């Protein structure tokens, strides 16, 4: 289930194609207002775009790549959301906030159209469609976070790993993902040996292959069959549909990988 993007063949001020779904769904009048202030920047893997320790300086419309929303405790980090070309980093700006309690890092490199926070706040009152889309995206992100919280608590690690790889593929279109087992462990909130075991199961099934620092999706259909039902719910939500209620029951503890 792919994240849908409306293609209007729009370009930024430098003539580069715009792949971001929010920008491509804006009325021409609003896009023309924002376009002169959009700066195309590369997104390097592991780059930190936002954090709780300083004010939000920019908003980012992702064109290519993948971002992760992280929550950290004193000793561990877990991912609570992902976003790609369907989204915007900095929705807090549209709600009047200057800070975020979360950290946002780049997981898959790409590029984004960046806008200065002050400029964004100044222009937003004149852009009702953009405000509506950002409010909608913020709501969908909240639904995703809730689903991931349930998934991380109730489903087996093998299922969660398959779900995470599928979500990453949906948002990037990339089947060779630059993920180490250490990174996957941090994103899934578990230990590295557990991720190695879960990845080994998926590899033996023929769904993925693993090279040093790269996970390759070999058979997407098999991977979907290994994922928990949360994947279809999140894909349904990400494509703009009404959330569906599923029966989230705990996995058999005897079969779970911790």
177-215 tens-digit pLDDT = 999 888 888 888 888 899 999 999 999 999 999 988 899
The secondary structure of 213-251 as a DSSP string is TEEEES-HHHHHHHS-THHHHHHHHHTTPPP--------
Helix (H), strand (E) at residue 68: strand 58-72
Q: How large a percentage of the chain has pLDDT more than 90?
A: 64
Residue position matching structure tokens 């976003």 = 83
152-176 tens-digit pLDDT = 888 999 999 999 999 999 999 999 9
Q: How large a percentage of the chain has pLDDT more than 70?
A: 88
| Interacting residues of 169 by C-beta distance below 8 A, sequence separation 6+ | 175, 177, 217, 220
64-97 tens-digit pLDDT = 999 999 887 777 777 888 999 999 999 999 888 9
CATH code at 21-149: 2.60.120.10
Q: Report H helices in the chain.
A: 21-24, 28-34, 91-94, 117-123, 128-154, 157-172, 181-188, 192-205, 220-226, 230-238
pTM beyond 0.95, yes or no: no
Residue 152's pLDDT is 82
Residue 239's pLDDT is 67
Average pLDDT over residues 140-152: 86
Contact 178, 214 (CB under 8 A): yes
Which CATH number among 1.10.10.10, 3.50.50.60, 1.10.1660.10, 3.40.640.10 corresponds to the domain 155-255?
1.10.10.10
241-258 tens-digit pLDDT = 544 433 333 334 333 333
Average pLDDT over residues 230-245: 68
Which candidate, 80, 97, 189, 93, places its Cα nearest to that of 142?
A: 80
Residue 8's pLDDT is 52
Higher-pLDDT residue of 245 and 10 is 10
**Hey, where are the domains in the chain?**
21-149, 155-255
Phi, psi dihedrals of residue 109, rounded to the nearest 5°: -65, 155
Q: Which two tokens stand for residue 25?
A: 């769904």
- pLDDT, averaged across the chain: 86
């Amino acid at each position: 289930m792919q994240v849908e993007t409306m293609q209007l063949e729009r370009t930024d001020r430098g003539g580069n194609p715009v792949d971001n779904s929010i920008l491509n769904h804006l009325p021409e009048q609003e896009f023309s207002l924002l376009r002169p202030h959009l700066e195309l920047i590369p997104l390097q893997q592991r780059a930190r775009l936002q954090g709780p320790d300083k004010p939000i300086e920019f908003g980012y419309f992702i064109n290519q790549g993948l971002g992760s929303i992280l929550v950290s405790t004193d000793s561990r980090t877990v991912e609570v959301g992902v976003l790609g070309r369907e989204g915007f980093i900095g929705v807090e700006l549209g709600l009047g906030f200057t800070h975020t309690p979360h950290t946002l890092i780049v997981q898959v490199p790409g590029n984004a159209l960046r806008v200065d926070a002050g400029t964004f706040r100044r222009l937003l009152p004149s852009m009702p469609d953009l405000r509506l889309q950002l409010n909608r995206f913020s709501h969908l992100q909240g639904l995703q976070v809730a689903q991931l919280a349930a998934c991380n608590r109730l489903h087996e690690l093998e299922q969660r790993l398959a779900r995470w790889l599928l979500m990453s593929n949906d948002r990037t279109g990339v089947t060779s993902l630059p993920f180490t087992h250490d990174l996957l462990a941090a994103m899934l909130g578990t230990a590295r040996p557990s991720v190695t075991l879960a990845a080994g199961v998926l590899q033996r099934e023929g769904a993925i292959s693993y090279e040093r620092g790269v996970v390759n999706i070999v058979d997407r259909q098999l991977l979907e069959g290994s994922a928990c039902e949360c994947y279809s719910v999140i894909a349904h939500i990400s494509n703009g549909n009404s959330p569906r209620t599923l029966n989230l029951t705990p996995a058999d503890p005897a079969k779970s990988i911790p």
